């Protein structure tokens, strides 16, 4: 498994329970994006659960099943003439018959002046990580999807006020999240507007320049922090040589999580699909883990027939 988020851990669990020798590679702590999520309210079995707590529970399940967790930053994956997969990390090379890619996605940036300069000085992509630094202050959230509104609600609990800036005239988030945000007196909305620059002094963010997409006005808003949630991009660059992605970088699979290369599967947020949630990543992982077992069985059968 390349990646130890919810999909990778589920795939590892299924494969290990099928008595396969499983290594789960990740360059960070297990749990993936769940570690940046405060309350998870749509995972079956829990009315609400903290993201890191759910990650820990999943990880303990893999440990019990005998999965080997390996820290490593994967640099490249190649396939030899015998269909063996060579996984090159920053410190080692692993060889496997099957690989399940679960590398997820990263937050997309605005790409405006000031964003890089003030990253860590008021610009953030994780409210759970950085929200406590803004107690008693006012912050801006850029975006209109589930992540933007969910994290905006979190920030409303720890800051004096939240202004959600969205380039459209309505949100894309789930209705239940929208209703909570609209009912929260500490959350305001700026519609049909894009952030064009992030302003600040030498130490921290002081404001944003914004452009109204309908009227055409350019104005400046004061703010102490900017939290950016404008979509994701896939962590698939290291697989470019395999030619298994679409033009945007999402890995293409069938409904069995199979890529065009036998023995290479892709699951979770890195895969080309419509809904990217913990539940869908877990579902993908179960399918891929079981299919990896079936792949090994097919190899064993061919070897037996050949012998």
**Phi and psi dihedrals of 212, rounded to 5?**
-80, 120
Catalytic residue among 130, 146, 224, 284: 130
Q: What is the pLDDT of residue 306?
A: 67
Give Cα separations from 178 to 46, 87, 152, 304 (angstroms).
22, 43, 11, 58
Contact present, 41 and 48 (Cβ < 8 Å) = yes
Q: Is residue 126 annotated as a catalytic residue, yes or no?
A: yes
Q: Measured between alpha carbons, how far is 97 from 266 in angstroms, rounded to an integer?
A: 15
Which tokens belong to 35?
Answer: 């570690």
Q: Which residues of 83-94 are buried (b: 16+ CB within 10 A; e: fewer)?
A: eebebbbeeeeb
Q: What is the pLDDT of residue 107?
A: 87
Q: What is the pLDDT of residue 129?
A: 81
Q: Is residue 129 annotated as a catalytic residue, yes or no?
A: yes
Going along the chain from its start, the domains and CATH numbers come out as: 6-107+232-305 (3.50.50.60), 123-228 (3.50.50.60)
Catalytic residue among 126, 146, 269, 284: 126
Q: What is the pLDDT of residue 37?
A: 81
Beta-strand relationship, 68-71 and 218-222: unpaired
Q: Is residue 92 annotated as a catalytic residue, yes or no?
A: no
Catalytic residue among 92, 129, 160, 222: 129
Q: DSSP H helical segments within the chain, as ranges?
A: 6-17, 51-65, 127-130, 146-158, 175-183, 278-306
Q: What is the pLDDT of residue 228?
A: 97
Q: What is the pLDDT along the chain (307 residues), one digit of tens a residue?
A: 999 999 999 999 999 999 999 999 999 999 998 988 878 888 999 999 999 999 999 999 999 999 999 999 999 999 999 899 999 999 999 999 999 999 999 889 999 999 999 998 999 998 888 899 999 999 999 999 998 999 999 999 999 999 999 999 999 999 999 999 999 999 999 999 999 999 999 889 999 999 999 999 999 999 999 999 998 899 999 999 999 999 999 999 999 999 999 999 999 999 999 888 899 999 999 999 999 999 999 988 777 766 6
């Amino acid at each position: 498994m390349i990646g130890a988020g919810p999909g990778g851990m589920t795939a590892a669990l299924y494969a290990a329970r099928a008595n396969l020798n499983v290594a789960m590679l990740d360059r960070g702590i297990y749990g993936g994006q769940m570690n940046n999520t405060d309350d998870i309210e749509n995972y079956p079995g829990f009315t609400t659960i903290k993201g890191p707590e759910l990650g820990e529970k999943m990880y303990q399940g893999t440990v019990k099943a005998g999965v080997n967790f390996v820290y490593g930053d994967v640099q490249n994956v190649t396939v030899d003439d015998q269909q063996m997969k060579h996984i090159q990390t920053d410190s080692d090379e692993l060889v496997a018959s099957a690989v399940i890619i679960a590398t997820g996605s990263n937050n997309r940036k605005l790409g405006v002046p000031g964003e890089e300069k003030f990253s860590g000085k008021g610009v953030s992509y994780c409210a759970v990580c950085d929200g406590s630094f803004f107690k008693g202050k006012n912050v801006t959230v850029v975006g209109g999807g589930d992540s933007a509104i969910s994290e905006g609600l979190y920030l409303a609990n720890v800051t004096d006020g939240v202004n959600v800036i969205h380039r459209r005239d309505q949100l894309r988030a789930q209705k239940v999240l929208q209703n909570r945000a609209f009912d929260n007196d500490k959350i305001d909305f700026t519609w049909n507007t894009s952030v064009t620059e992030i302003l600040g002094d030498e130490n921290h963010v002081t404001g944003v320049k914004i452009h109204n997409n309908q009227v055409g006005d350019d104005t400046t808003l004061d703010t102490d922090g900017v939290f950016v949630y404008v979509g994701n991009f896939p962590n698939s660059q290291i697989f470019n040589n395999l030619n298994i992605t679409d033009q945007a970088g999402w890995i293409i699979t069938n409904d069995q999580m199979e890529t065009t290369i036998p023995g290479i599967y892709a699951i979770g947020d890195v895969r080309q699909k419509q809904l990217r949630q913990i539940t869908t990543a877990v579902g993908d992982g179960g399918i891929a883990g079981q299919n990896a077992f079936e792949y090994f069985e097919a190899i064993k059968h061919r070897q037996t027939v050949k012998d």
